[in-house]
Chain A
């Protein structure tokens, strides 16, 4: 059972409010090492400079969207193992399908609750302590 506090997370969303909310939720779950990036480009730079265990990324963002970020992460060997959870704002089956093709580890449909997010993450890492 991995400890949430030992998993580093990068939250990617173009909206400051949303990042703050997700950070808040992650903290409630027990995560301690939480970083943020406002778009895919920044996220990739951030990850290459300092890898993370988990990326939680929005889909619709300027510059580089969540799907492009996912592809980029999977094509950079040093960070390709990063667990990737995509937030989809819309009931978009096609988007999730494509994300699955590109190797997403899980997806989470907005709106979600803290508990909902926790479950999604646990489906990737196993039960968190």
Chain B
């Protein structure tokens, strides 16, 4: 019963989605959504969980879901009023349902007492006269003794079907007719009509190759229909106009013919019919009208009461590829008439073991490196860029990049999966702290690599807790300050310069800088006479050992400080910062790379070492003129870039590659911009050019090094370090003047 085990795995995956739907619906109900569709969706979620659970004999889950479902059905039917109080109860019930699902999966236990109490509570709502302690026992699906057949879609009240008293006269549907029909036509002659779309050529496919493949199946006679070809002056060279009608004699079946077109699936209109068809008829079939019903009309069903077999079904414009189901499963049809649909939770979604994708991404990473190495070798041999070899390599590079993008896109997911857990959290934390909070979410559909998403949850959770617990005032305080007693917490995701940015902001009181400064001094984190800007004070909360709550509240506390959040974010190549305005609120900004796998970088030489500078941070590169370099202080210097001055930072010096900086005019300067918008001019010795590199984590293989974000392997096989631009700027600032933002090591030293 391996297959059933596989279905069971699917079931639990689906349960997660259903539980999320359930919670989403219940939260909407709690906010007053009383529409039937919401209630129905909630009902369906519980009903589906129960149905699946019944099939696998997960008894406790079925029993609880049944009581839950019964109440929801009553709400749906209107016999139990849909109130906010009810929604609160249902939300608690959904927690227990989730526990049951986890338990059924072998992950954790259910508090059976709580479950029974909740079941009783739910039953009470359905029938106020019911004995409170006895949840209605559910008739377990009757399982026949001998073979223990699988029961599909278990439901309540396993009723006797015949009770409904409907008798059906068997239909005379003769399916054999299909075979009989087919025999009238010479079985080995097929007409294959192919109308390539422009995408087919764009993807570097070639009709001649398709014809050659067809020829392998048997003798072909191909006719070209160029009637759609416009006059030369109207010809769009990128578009496709011709249709091939191929008469094929083969002993192979339709699937073998179809297989030839596997790689151009969706990129051409394809019609395969048994028997000989005139060219005109074949073209007409391909050009069937857009009105689906009308299009099907002319080919009336065969005399027998049988649905027209596939091959005879006239094509419908909306689904040009005959085997629409297959096409849908492989790729959404690229048809102008139908907008590309986001695949729903249906058959067009393929579930893949994430490990396979990870493996694929690793391989593509290696491919990128390999391709780069190859390109470099070719360059070393002095082969002309116009040579076939070099041009072929260029193509290879483009293809590699496309493959990489496509592979990365497989793993990209909207941040929704993390965001949708947050309304719940906000509600709970607000209840616990006695605050009134409303969560506003923005950009849930922002996509980011799955590996990044998984690690977003903790920092977001923590920042939200923090915003409600420390940021928002109590309703009384808010009223006194002339604000709406209900505070607003905003959670937003957006893409910015190749990174994903998560913002958590509140409209609370903002950071009490005096108090933060005082605490930092009291805890010995900074010297009492240290002069800090407002921004620097705000950032003190990221220092290890800093906690503004006098006592660790069980809400934001949980034993984790913002310093831990910051470190975990940094480990991902991300950054976190805070800005705050007294009386108006604070904003945490978290920025992370979109993917943890590849990076566009500029390869530079510094003191004999090769470094990669992330392209996203580079504004421009320039060769400074002597008059543009101005000294600043005893060691520092700045560069005049147009009308502003930017601090010059010698990367070699900052990373400790050399003791003395060369003059900036001897090297190349990369003008970079940090996450906070501050600019700096990085001095390097030479630039080698732009390259996509595969990120190899330094922490995993060695340890974290300040100023270095990660490592990579270059085309020639050497390891190069990837520069952490922000950290480099900060390292420099420490040497130059006041710490900004303060870093623990420095402040402790002072």
Residues of A within 8 A of B55 (CB): 17-18, 21, 111
Q: How many whole Å from A23's CB to the nearest CB in chain B?
A: 9
Residues of A within 8 A of B307 (CB): 8, 51-53, 78-79, 81-82
A20 touches B152 (CB 8 A): no
Q: When chains A and B are docked, how far (Å) is the Cα of A39 from the Cα of B229?
A: 41
Q: How many whole Å from A61's CB to the nearest CB in chain B?
A: 8
Q: When chains A and B are docked, how far (Å) is the Cα of A111 from the Cα of B306?
A: 30
B293 touches A83 (CB 8 A): no
Residue in contact with A20 in the complex, picked from B10, B161, B305, CB distance below 8 Å: B10
Q: When chains A and B are docked, how far (Å) is the Cα of A2 from the Cα of B44?
A: 36
A16 touches B152 (CB 8 A): no
- In the complex, residue of chain B having the shortest beta-carbon distance to the beta carbon of A87: B153
B173 touches A111 (CB 8 A): no
Residues of A within 8 A of B164 (CB): 93, 96, 107
Residues of B within 8 A of A46 (CB): 324-325, 328
Task: Give per-residue flags for A89-129: 1 if the beta carbon is below 8 A from chain B beta carbons, else 0.
Answer: 11101001100100001111111111101000001111000
Q: How many whole Å from A13's CB to the nearest CB in chain B?
A: 9
Residue in contact with A18 in the complex, picked from B4, B52, B322, CB distance below 8 Å: B52
Q: A17-B55, A46-B324, A93-B164 given as contacts; is B153 within 8 A of A125 (CB)?
A: no
Residues of B within 8 A of A76 (CB): 293, 296
Q: Kindly state whether residue B535 has any CB partner on chain A within 8 Å.
A: no
Q: A37-B347, A50-B313, A81-B306 given as contacts; is B155 within 8 A of A89 (CB)?
A: yes
Q: A15-B51, A21-B152 given as contacts; is B175 within 8 A of A42 (CB)?
A: no
B14 touches A15 (CB 8 A): yes
Q: How many whole Å from A43's CB to the nearest CB in chain B?
A: 10
A109 touches B161 (CB 8 A): yes
Residues of A within 8 A of B141 (CB): 111
Task: Give per-residue flags for A1-27: 1 if the beta carbon is below 8 A from chain B beta carbons, else 0.
Answer: 011001110000011111111101100
Q: When chains A and B are docked, how far (Å) is the Cα of A78 from the Cα of B298?
A: 10
B170 touches A111 (CB 8 A): no
Residues of A within 8 A of B323 (CB): 50
Residues of A within 8 A of B155 (CB): 89-90, 109-111
A50 touches B150 (CB 8 A): no
Residues of B within 8 A of A91 (CB): 156-157, 159, 163
Residues of A within 8 A of B296 (CB): 48, 76-78
Interface extent on B, as a size class? 35 or more
Q: When chains A and B are docked, how far (Å) is the Cα of A76 from the Cα of B346?
A: 23
A107 touches B166 (CB 8 A): yes
Q: When chains A and B are docked, how far (Å) is the Cα of A114 from the Cα of B47?
A: 21
Q: How many whole Å from B345's CB to the nearest CB in chain A?
A: 6
A53 touches B293 (CB 8 A): no
Q: A7-B175, A90-B155 given as contacts; is B170 within 8 A of A124 (CB)?
A: yes
- In the complex, residue of chain A having the shortest beta-carbon distance to the beta carbon of B315: A49
B52 touches A81 (CB 8 A): no
- In the complex, residue of chain B having the shortest beta-carbon distance to the beta carbon of A76: B293
Residues of A within 8 A of B48 (CB): 14-15, 17-18
B11 touches A115 (CB 8 A): no
Within 8 A of A (CB), among B153-191: 153-159, 161, 163-164, 166, 168, 170-171, 173-176, 178-179
Q: A2-B173, A2-B174, A78-B301 given as contacts; is B14 within 8 A of A62 (CB)?
A: no
Q: When chains A and B are docked, how far (Å) is the Cα of A96 from the Cα of B163?
A: 12
Q: When chains A and B are docked, how far (Å) is the Cα of A128 from the Cα of B616?
A: 65
Q: When chains A and B are docked, how far (Å) is the Cα of A95 from the Cα of B667?
A: 81
Q: How many whole Å from B350's CB to the nearest CB in chain A?
A: 12
B175 touches A96 (CB 8 A): no
- In the complex, residue of chain A having the shortest beta-carbon distance to the beta carbon of B176: A2
Within 8 A of A (CB), among B41-68: 41, 43-44, 47-48, 51-52, 54-55
A49 touches B41 (CB 8 A): no
Number of A-B contacts (CB under 8 A): 196
Residue in contact with B153 in the complex, picked from A36, A89, A126, CB distance below 8 Å: A89
B175 touches A15 (CB 8 A): no
Residues of A within 8 A of B293 (CB): 48, 76-78
Residue in contact with B14 in the complex, picked from A16, A83, A100, A112, CB distance below 8 Å: A16
Q: Kindly state whether residue B337 has any CB partner on chain A within 8 Å.
A: no
Q: Kindly state whether residue A66 has any CB partner on chain B within 8 Å.
A: no
- In the complex, residue of chain B having the shortest beta-carbon distance to the beta carbon of A23: B7
A53 touches B150 (CB 8 A): no
Within 8 A of B (CB), among A39-72: 39, 42, 45-46, 48-53, 60-62
Residues of A within 8 A of B170 (CB): 123-126
Q: Kindly state whether residue A35 has any CB partner on chain B within 8 Å.
A: yes
Residue among A79, A89, A111, A124 facing the most chain B CB atoms (10 A cut-off): A111
Q: Kindly state whether residue B106 has any CB partner on chain A within 8 Å.
A: no
A6 touches B153 (CB 8 A): no
B166 touches A100 (CB 8 A): yes
Q: When chains A and B are docked, how far (Å) is the Cα of A8 from the Cα of B325?
A: 13
Residues of B within 8 A of A79 (CB): 307
B47 touches A89 (CB 8 A): yes
Residue among A62, A113, A117 facing the most chain B CB atoms (10 A cut-off): A113
Q: How many whole Å from B137's CB to the nearest CB in chain A?
A: 17
A114 touches B171 (CB 8 A): no
Residue among A21, A38, A51, A82 facing the most chain B CB atoms (10 A cut-off): A21
Q: Kindly state whether residue B434 has any CB partner on chain A within 8 Å.
A: no
- In the complex, residue of chain B having the shortest beta-carbon distance to the beta carbon of A61: B44
Q: Kindly state whether residue B151 has any CB partner on chain A within 8 Å.
A: yes
Q: How many whole Å from A48's CB to the nearest CB in chain B?
A: 5
Contacts A48-B296, A50-B323, A124-B170 known; 16 new A-B pairs at CB < 8 A: A6-B178, A15-B48, A21-B52, A24-B150, A35-B325, A36-B347, A39-B346, A46-B328, A50-B325, A51-B313, A53-B307, A77-B293, A81-B305, A91-B163, A111-B151, A114-B150
Residue contacts A-B, CB under 8 angstroms, 24 given: A2-B176, A15-B51, A16-B345, A18-B55, A21-B150, A25-B152, A36-B346, A39-B344, A45-B319, A46-B328, A48-B292, A48-B316, A48-B318, A48-B319, A49-B313, A51-B310, A53-B173, A83-B173, A89-B155, A100-B166, A108-B161, A113-B144, A114-B150, A125-B175
Enumerate chain B interface residues (CB-CB to A < 8 A).
Answer: 3-4, 6-7, 10-11, 14, 40-41, 43-44, 47-48, 51-52, 54-55, 141, 144, 149-159, 161, 163-164, 166, 168, 170-171, 173-176, 178-179, 292-293, 296-297, 299, 301, 305-308, 310, 313, 316, 318-319, 322-325, 328, 344-347
* Minimum-distance CB pairs A-B, first 3: A38-B346, A110-B153, A49-B324
